[in-house]
Amino acid sequence: MSSRTDLASTLRSLDGRSYGNLKQIRGRYTFGPVTLFIDRVQADPFASPSKVRVRVDRDEAKFPPELTTDRADRIAASDYLQRAGNAVLSGIGQRATILGRPGQEILERTNILIDDAGFEARLLVNLPARGRSILGHQAADILTRDLPEFAQTLFLFHSWSDADSLASADAHHAADAHHATDVHAQSGPSALDLAAHVQLHRDQLELRDHLGEAGLIGFIGNGAILPRQAGDSDRPMDAAAAVGFTSPPELEHTVNLSSGRSLTGMGIPRGVTVIVGGGYHGKSTILRALERGVYPHIAGDGREWVISDPSAASIRAEDGRAVTGDDISAFINNLPSGTDTRAFSTTNASGSTSQAANLVEAVEAGARTLLIDEDTSATNFMIRDERMRALIPAEQEPITPFVDRVRPLLTRGGVSTVLVAGGSSAFFEVADHVIALDAYVPSVVTERAHELVGVSGENLDAHQDHADGTDSDDTGSDGTGPGEPGGGSPAFGAVRRVPTAKALRPASKTKSARAKGTDRIQFGRSFIDLVAVAQLVDAQQTAGVAEALEYLAEIFDGRTSLTEALAEIDGMLEAQGLDGITGHRDHPGHLTRPRTQEIAAALNRYRELRLAH
């Protein structure tokens, strides 16, 4: 093991020499409590930056173990340290960075690692040069002075200005009473902020667990700020301009968390919930908040207490996408081409077929809640009105609209739906709950809506089963039950799709999959388009998806189904953490953990996906 003076003198002696000589500084160095790992040295000053890590052991760092032991707590603490670390680094200078600026979500990332042994920051450093010569003295300053200093500031807990405040009798209350409003704005790490961040995350997860037990698929706390600053911003709208959320009394639900926090808001029960209201009254904003409610949010976001079923998937039309072997027969049948829609493939899906594919793929990947907005749906996928049903005989219409499937999806598939539909009353008769928005204020109008279409809450499914019996594709009038072969009953993602062993190893692919921003992955010579995948948070999460595809390539052997492979990744991630997903030899400090849903979404959009059966 080398020491500070070794590395510093090596770097100084390299001053003015050609850049390639820097290679020799790879290795591990200690600076008091800090260990510096130089994992990869850039080949020249214009290449992508060098990769380094700084690490402090637990017995030196002396973090409160109660904040950094549990797995979920570590995720929140890492998230906090990354945000604080960004601020500390910008104080030091711009040469070194932690990749990526976390947004509004608290997510598992590889930028800061907390493990049993200690704390580690993964950094990129641009080692300085003049032309192609090494600037040795400056490099020495960065690597042997600034970075060790950074690690000490961030990881030596007792050096934090308010470290003592947590030692006081009741840390819970200290953190609770302390309102960390905007982590981005913090200048240095704060013990109270860290504790508040970890506690907020715990409370959100506890609320999420509670919702599952209480039969709720979503919760929006009273006072929540749902609208965002702008269409291209995920920050909250100015509180003075926004109308805070208030639950209608009928759906109001109060939860007392073990931290002592009590939350009241709107609980959305399992079932079919339809959101109606005039244009521009906030319908899509609610749905979008629920989409993001699958992730925990930072303090001050406004959506801290907007919590959704973690499997919830946003479903939209996406014409032009490729589809490989999906069973969309629950929605599409009797295509004029004679195509079998129980294993439907196309390189260019229509609006309705793409939405059907998105839906069955989401269910296949484990979604138990679907979020659908009329703004981004194919009308003919969603509804067909009476006159059209009269004009076009069922045999000539390939589409069984979603309105006819939303209840079987629930009663047979256990999948709930939250739907925004301001333009049609068609969903009234299949809705358990109808929520109307008036100037962003929700009220329950279920009874009135049911009256209008002549149904009552009790006969929803009876009514629907009748409607079901008249469907064009219900060839199985022999009374066979749901999902049983030959019954002609709708399959919702039940089909077992098995990719070929080479499915993700096309001959054209010489480089690993790479994220190109949030919405695209380069995979071999092709690109996977993720623009329609609404619940991808940032480029770093897309990078996580790209790594997952590489990992899937190893799993697929012509026998393992897509669902089994996704479960295998999930199990590995739970056991090994996010580092386990990467084959990188140097540090993988650029990944955010994606959900299974988004990994599946990318795989399903890969145009060269081939199935063994």
Kindly list the strands in the beta sheet with 520-523, ordered across the sheet, starting from the edge strand earlier in the chain: 514-515, 520-523, 526-529
Q: Report which residue's Cβ sits closest to Mg ion.
A: 284
Q: How far apart are CA 144 and CA 7, in angstroms?
A: 7
- Window 258 to 277, contacts with ligand ADP (CB under 6 A): 277
- Window 212 to 231, contacts with ligand ADP (CB under 6 A): 226-227
| 115 forms part of the interface with Mg ion (CB under 5 A) | no
CB of 439 to ligand ADP, least distance (A): 8
Candidate ranges 81-89, 108-116, 117-125, 278-286; the one touching ligand ADP (CB under 6 A): 278-286
Residue with tokens 């506690």: 199
Angle at 604 between CA 599 and CA 606, to 5 degrees: 100
Q: Please, which residues have CB within 8 angstroms of residue 314's CB and are 6 or more apart in sequence?
A: 287, 291, 370, 371, 372, 373, 534, 535
In DSSP notation, 236-302 reads BPPTTTSPPP---GGGEEEEE-TTS-EEEEEEEESSEEEEEE-TTSSHHHHHHHHHHTTS-B-TTSS
| 46 forms part of the interface with ligand ADP (CB under 6 A) | no
CB 468 within 8 A of CB 453: no
Q: Which two tokens stand for residue 295?
A: 């992730």
Q: Please pick, from the candidates 222, 284, 425, 512, the single residue that binds Mg ion as defined by CB under 5 A.
A: 284
First to last CA, the chain: 54
| 280 forms part of the interface with ligand ADP (CB under 6 A) | yes
| Of residues 24 and 229, the one with the C-beta less far from ligand ADP | 229
Q: Is the dihedral of CA 208, 211, 215, 216 positive or negative?
A: negative
The b/e string for 206-231 (b: 16+ C-beta within 10 A; e otherwise) is: bbbebbeeeebbbbbbeebbbbbeee
Q: Please pick, from the candidates 115, 375, 438, 574, the single residue that binds Mg ion as defined by CB under 5 A.
A: 375
Q: Please pick, from the candidates 189, 221, 265, 282, the single residue that binds ligand ADP as defined by CB under 6 A.
A: 282
Candidate ranges 262-270, 375-383, 490-498, 565-573; the one touching Mg ion (CB under 5 A): 375-383
CB of 431 to ligand ADP, least distance (A): 17
CB of 284 to Mg ion, least distance (A): 3
CB of 388 to Mg ion, least distance (A): 24
Residue with tokens 């929006």: 220
Candidate ranges 37-45, 111-119, 283-291, 447-455; the one touching Mg ion (CB under 5 A): 283-291
Candidate ranges 44-52, 96-104, 176-184, 283-291; the one touching ligand ADP (CB under 6 A): 283-291
| Of residues 283 and 590, the one with the C-beta less far from Mg ion | 283
Q: How far apart are CA 300 and CA 522, in angstroms?
A: 35
CB 560 within 8 A of CB 496: no
| 440 forms part of the interface with ligand ADP (CB under 6 A) | yes
Residue 285 touches which of Mg ion, ligand ADP, none (CB < 5 to 8 A by kind)?
Answer: ligand ADP
Residue 88 touches which of ligand ADP, Mg ion, none (CB < 5 to 8 A by kind)?
Answer: none
| Of residues 74 and 283, the one with the C-beta less far from Mg ion | 283
Q: How far apart are CA 580 and CA 554, in angstroms?
A: 13
Q: Which two tokens stand for residue 367?
A: 């979604």
| Of residues 264 and 284, the one with the C-beta less far from ligand ADP | 284
| Of residues 238 and 340, the one with the C-beta less far from ligand ADP | 238
| Of residues 240 and 507, the one with the C-beta less far from ligand ADP | 240
- Residue closest to 440 by CA, chosen among 287, 300, 280: 280
CB 610 within 8 A of CB 497: no
Q: How far apart are CA 193 and CA 268, in angstroms?
A: 31
Number of residues in contact with ligand ADP under rule CB under 6 A: 13
| 442 forms part of the interface with ligand ADP (CB under 6 A) | no
| Residues constituting the chain | 613
| Of residues 326 and 373, the one with the C-beta less far from ligand ADP | 373
Residues making contact with ligand ADP (CB under 6 A):
226-227, 242-243, 277, 279-285, 440
